[in-house]
Structure 1
């Protein structure tokens, strides 16, 4: 048996262990009302019990990621399976063995979601390949080959992620580009990587403002996602781009009416449940609405440079278009190009100590650590949230990997 094909060869027999049957519920008026504004409805979970309750004809896809998959694996639902198949991976080096088994669990759980609910499912790459163009291409192709009609490959925003996603696009493999927090990041991704979907994690933007005592949580995330949608619409008209925008990291049911008109809303189960219970509709697209932002007294918007979340400068537009027409050969060349063009804050130089700070802070960085660098244009809020998000995914991926290691005893 070819070692690189172990997961693919095991999947058919493993699927037989689970008696997943299709689940369907009646139409949901709230979801239908959102759909009528032009917004596709996805559920942001891999929890089958939750999806069983919430799936309706209006829900067309599910999103999973390293964190959500880890939550399911930590329930123990795959423990027996992991122990039973561990010997099939014995010929692989230890680190490769864990990555391949994690890949198997991701693909298997994604296939179970497809079988049960019928829509598209986003599956995320192992965080070990986030900075590896060849690894992104290798595992992205394998995910696609397993379920070409339903899998979307999630690739995170890194320099290698941009180049790896572009290679997947060129092979006709649909990508859901993740961990984006601004209009400018989305413009860069749309032009260079050309994914099927990209996103704004709007809830984390609001959390950054609130937790760092910069302003109210309501407003900045919603403004960013709608300004990004306008940017994407312009790119479609001017360049023929086909990337669709996802409003992600929705934290509260009251946000749903404010997000109508965005291409896709991916909604966590609790938010979806609360919305069904408390909202009615009908709704209108909100893309032309300008959201008010309430800052804490004394906060200087010029110092926190919050407008970088929703404003793309003329320099950024020019450079991103140049990059799209002249794809760099490697990640370092991409980073150097941006810095030399006067855009150093999208992929800044981060010291090992700063990497530890980002990991320790969790999903929401502590603004005070970075305030000086932000005011100088050396980094930015969208960049910090991206780095923090990848660090959080890496932590959750390690928890999943450690569970596998503990179960196989090697």
Structure 2
């Protein structure tokens, strides 16, 4: 089903209580316990000096070697995703496990078997990261389940059960994802609501689903504006991240049942780090972290009361971009949230309809098949010209478009990973 939403199809899964699920979990635990090589991390005066705010630092990578060269006491987490995992699997390191896991799952349909093996490889790698660095690890689920609440919950529970102390389950910002996150949080499962791009998306996620973490993929926002020649892109993602931090902090303040934290993600350059000081968490690609050690030498000062100035090009019609959607939360969106809190939607369909009733169709836009294909072909950064009429019309926005593009990119990586698994099963 890749990333394409369907109201009729459901994803077949192995239940958390099944014997096959238990066999897979036991296999992963035994393997990683045997391979454990954790050690006491060094202290880094550089990162200690550079991080004078309350910001937590994570590394955004699945490459154990790259992480190991940087790892120190000042880092507390690692984030992975389908693309990063695919990079690790494609080097052949896990090929030998495919037939072993295949025997554990037994005689099940091929698509389900491939998904199960991919899930197991994901957990093997994530648990290896835990064993190596004794830190929080955000683990992404298969893209097939992005639009299926029940399947998302089934896999999330299995992920959590394997390593409740350190695993954080990554679930994308989709209507089905939000429904699943709300239930999982009731069960005490930590969730990272991923592929967020705006303050309004993260306000909605925090208020309705209470994830442990929300994200702004800020580097992609800067690239969207710059690559589409809408402006220089400077400060766009940073402004969205700081605005989102303010919305999340304001909503969670004084609410014991909500402990959501903001993550600044998708950094492209070390110079962005000081501009995000004070954000709850910054997850840093290893390349950017290395660059920071070479180029940054001053302590950070909190930027939480700062809002970068962002300008579009003089020739750009603002109504075809509506860039303010990235950092403003409208009255309609706040009313939608209040209604959803009072009358919680029971399904993704109800949630989407409730948004439409409040005239915010652009939060969860309807996309035709050919439009989904165009998004997939464009990659991480969509072609703005394709979508500017819909943005001007008000039934699509940059943040929702970027979420769909992110899902499509992860689905492509997941497909490549699945293909490698199929080769090992022949």
- Please say whether Structure 1 and Structure 2 have the same fold, judged by a TM-score greater than 0.5: yes
How far does residue 90 in structure 1 lie from its aligned partner after superposition? 3.7
Figure out how many residues of one structure are paired with residues of the other and give that number.
Answer: 408
> 1: distance between equivalents of 2:261 and 2:419?
35
Matches within 5 A, 1:158-307: 158-237=174-253, 239-240=255-256, 241-307=258-324
> 2: distance between equivalents of 1:28 and 1:293?
35
1:47 aligned residue: 63
Moved more, 320-329 or 142-151: 320-329
How far does residue 96 in structure 1 lie from its aligned partner after superposition? 1.0
How far does residue 24 in structure 1 lie from its aligned partner after superposition? 4.2
2:145 counterpart of 1:129 = yes
How far does residue 13 in structure 1 lie from its aligned partner after superposition? 3.4
Cα offsets for 1:256-300 (capped at 9, x unmatched): 011111000000000001001111121100111121224223112
2:27 counterpart of 1:10 = yes
2:395 aligned residue: 378
How far does residue 17 in structure 1 lie from its aligned partner after superposition? 5.9
Matches within 5 A, 1:56-95: 56-95=72-111
How far does residue 160 in structure 1 lie from its aligned partner after superposition? 0.3
CA contact (8 A) 1:24 1:55 kept: no
CA contact (8 A) 1:222 1:291 kept: yes
> 2: distance between equivalents of 1:226 and 1:320?
21
How far does residue 392 in structure 1 lie from its aligned partner after superposition? 0.5
2:364 counterpart of 1:363 = no
Unaligned runs of 5+ in 2: 1-17
> 2: distance between equivalents of 1:340 and 1:238?
30
Cα offsets for 1:332-391 (capped at 9, x unmatched): 111011001111101111000000001000011100000000011110000100000001
CA contact (8 A) 1:183 1:311 kept: yes
Matches within 5 A, 1:310-325: 310-325=327-342
Residue 330 (structure 1) aligned to one of 339, 342, 347 = 347
> 2: distance between equivalents of 1:127 and 1:303?
30
> 1: distance between equivalents of 2:25 and 2:420?
21
1:354 aligned residue: 371
> 2: distance between equivalents of 1:264 and 1:188?
19
1:96 aligned residue: 112
- Describe the shift of the 1:372–1:238 C-alpha distance in structure 2 as closer, same or farther (beyond 3 A): farther
Other structure's SS at 2:229 match: coil
How far does residue 49 in structure 1 lie from its aligned partner after superposition? 0.2
- Describe the shift of the 1:33–1:236 C-alpha distance in structure 2 as closer, same or farther (beyond 3 A): farther
Unaligned runs of 5+ in 1: none
